[in-house]
A and B are shown apart, each in its own frame.
Chain A
Amino acid sequence: MPSAARLPGLWPRPRVRTRRDALPGLHLALGATILWVGLLVVLPLLALAIRPWQDGAAPMLAALHDRRMLAALELSFGSAALAALVNLPLGLVLAWSLVRTRLPGRRIVDAVIDLPFALPTAVTGITLATLYGPHGWLGAPLARLGIRVAFTPLGIMLALAFVGLPFVVRTLEPVLRDLPPELEDAAMMLGAQRRQIVARVLLPPLLPALATGFGLAFARGIGEYGSVIFIAGNQPFRSEIAPLLVVIRLQEFDYAGATSVGFVLLLAAFLSLVVISALRRRLSRGLGGGETA
């Protein structure tokens, strides 16, 4: 295929060729990119944005008042937030061990942290359901203590915590690495107490990283499907997550119902993406500042 730069007739060239435009291939590469993004991302997402309003606003508004949907959304957002919250201390422990200590087996720990990323969600789903099920390795002893995990909202939170943990660890790690231990030593020498060191010296630089990790885990949790549905129990109003409701509505051929839930999920995803990228920008600024200080 000839390059775009050699086809002046087809591709209008800029009249003034500044140095920045000297490289060839912009038109071809950009054209291909727009085609790729347009057909595979923009078009389907547009369908989701337009479709709910296609039959007028009434069915959409009615769907938004569907109590089952509200319950599912509440459960999804609530358990995603809780799971992300639980992951903050766990992630901090793991990240701290990796960065600040010379723990034996550190390399194995480092490799194992990405396991939730590597395990396909359906595998995670059936595994957690078996592990925490009434006869499972962890489910049976917990049941004797009177704690039921599988087929309850607790199970949902647990599955979301599992898939979200690496996000928190991997966000905290680089920030901790750039935080010189000397700061704590200096604070201690200046007479600061342990509590003061944590609150005044450690927490402020870690806060944006903790928020980013929380955001990433939360965003993943809202939409998570495969790792949750096997352990969830899936009872309407109790343990039915929003993504599952999309699937159920589709099986009922209720496209309007499925689309309204999907639309809310998409909106939430978009908002979290905006917030997370803003946080990440702050984070990289913070890191840059740390290097110059």
Chain B
Amino acid sequence: MSRILLGLATYVIVAIVLLLPPVLVFTEALRQGLPAALATFADPDARAAIQLTLEMTALSVVVNTAFGILAAWALAKFSFPGRGVLLVLIELPLSVSPVVAGLVWLLLFGSQGWWGDALARHGITIAFATPGILLATIFVTFPYVARTLLPLMQRQGRDAEEAALLLGAGFWQILWRVTLPGARWALLSGVLLTTARAMGEFGAVSVISGHIPGLTETMPLHIETLYNGYQTVAAFSMAALLALMAMTTVALRGILERQADKAGASQAGADKAGGWA
């Protein structure tokens, strides 16, 4: 009896709380038919928003992956004073409010910020321009690669690396040929998390972007503009595209993790929430 009730409760929660929202996104997008939905993407501002989102995502992924790998290497293979502090600092951006993640860059580069005026005199604008959006996006996706790699690299130990060293390999060779191939699933998983989060970032980017349609509007910001302008179909069409992009990325990560589990290469799946929080 209680089993059935539990199952029923599960289905109700899943259907109403979790499934209804994504279903609504696509229903609202297609309310006036597919052509009306697709017409959204013919708008130049919409195209500019999609392009900007893709660019910002790609750049954030490159920066945070490159540094994330080096950080994971230093933190996993060595012990040094201040290691704990570094770990906390790397984690910190995940708990900071997105709005604060945008605000901090305004305090540095805004017109009332520390360096905003000085840079503006040299013709460099960061706030209310793409460099600011990039900084905000990098900040909110900062830890993902490092923290998915770190536990795996720690489990790998140092034996293979030390053997490679004895055989005459240098640092880059060891990293590229020995450490990373064993950690490729975790690395990809971290990259996908970074991608999903970077594409969808709203609060941080909203604070620093200035919302200039066609110039500094990313997809999430464009969705807000359309929605507040009562262009419901357009807003939900853009939302459907963004949701599809993000959900595909996350689903890819799920498939990957199952593959890795089969290969026995990763136990990272054990703490799924750990990837996000």
Contact = CB atoms under 8 A, between A and B. Distances in A.
A167 B19 contact: no
Given A97-B7, A97-B10, A273 B95 contact: yes
B88 A130 contact: no
Contacts of A161: 17
B144 interface: no
Interface string A258-282: 1100100110011011000100000
Given A33-B70, A126-B235, A103 B7 contact: yes
A162 B16 CA distance: 11
Interface string B20-42: 11101100100000000000000
B135 A120 contact: no
Interface in B198-216: 199-203, 206-207
A119 B22 contact: yes
B13 interface: yes
A40 B108 CA distance: 11
Contacts of A6: 170
A273 B174 contact: no
A270 B95 contact: yes
A202 interface: no
Contacts, number: 293
Given A119-B22, A131-B21, A273-B91, A36 B99 contact: no
A3 interface: yes
A83 interface: no
Given A118-B246, A216-B273, A40 B142 contact: yes
A47 B114 contact: yes
Interface stretch (B71-79, B117-125, B182-190): B71-79
B98 A225 contact: yes
Interface string B236-263: 1001001100110111001000000000
Given A48-B107, A173-B272, A119 B247 contact: yes
Interface in B78-110: 78-80, 86, 88-93, 95-100, 103-108, 110
B170 A3 contact: yes
Interface residues of B, number: 97
A220 B7 CA distance: 28
Interface of B: 3, 6-7, 9-11, 13-14, 16-22, 24-25, 28, 67, 70-71, 73-75, 77-80, 86, 88-93, 95-100, 103-108, 110, 112-114, 135, 138-139, 142, 158, 161-162, 165, 170-172, 174-175, 196, 199-203, 206-207, 219-221, 223-224, 227, 232, 235-236, 239, 242-243, 246-247, 249-251, 254, 270-274, 276-277
Across the A-B interface, give the 7 residue pairs with the lowest CB-CB distance, nearest first.
A223-B97, A120-B200, A170-B273, A44-B104, A3-B171, A225-B203, A226-B202
5 contacts: A33-B71, A101-B3, A121-B220, A243-B97, A262-B99
Given A37-B90, A103-B7, 17 more contacts: A20-B79, A22-B165, A23-B161, A23-B162, A29-B71, A45-B104, A47-B113, A48-B103, A114-B272, A118-B247, A126-B236, A127-B239, A167-B276, A223-B95, A247-B206, A253-B112, A277-B88
